[in-house]
Amino acid sequence: QVQLVESGGGLVQAGGSLTLSCAGSGRTFVSAVMAWFRQAPGKEREFVSAARWSGGSTFYADSVKGRFTIRRDNAKNTVYLRMNSLQPEDTAVYFCAATFRPALAAELQTQLAYDYWGQGTQVTVSS
């Protein structure tokens, strides 16, 4: 049974940084795509970033390009999201997601592409 466990959320001042972690278990993640989504209060869940486990392709939402970096540690079945220059509008619950199904780059930015989700971790950025 695949499980995803996020950690690393917290409270940070605007301009600060945080690193989120998502540890996967239950099967090998060699062929998986791992992603981060976020959901702010009263808003829809939105795509943040994704990384193919093999090949190294990464994808980012325009709102986080240049500020966030996704990185994989294959040996630990873990994906990280380094978030720099955080702003109040980055405040949200951040969710880790995984899929083992083939998907095009555009599809990877949609929730429907993912079969497994973590419980979420809160990130709050104060102004």
95: which 2 tokens?
A: 């969710």
Average pLDDT per 10 consecutive residues for the chain, totaling 127 residues: 96 98 90 95 97 85 97 90 98 97 90 97 97
* Closest-CA residue to 66 (of 91, 45, 87): 87
CA 96 to chain centre: 5
pLDDT tens digit sequence for 36-60: 999 999 999 999 999 987 767 999 9
Residue with tokens 């939105």: 46
Cα–Cα distance measured from residue 24 to residue 15, given in angstroms and rounded to the nearest whole number: 29
What three-state secondary structure class fits 96?
Answer: strand
The whole-number pLDDT of residue 74 equals 83
| Tokens coding 51 | 């990384």
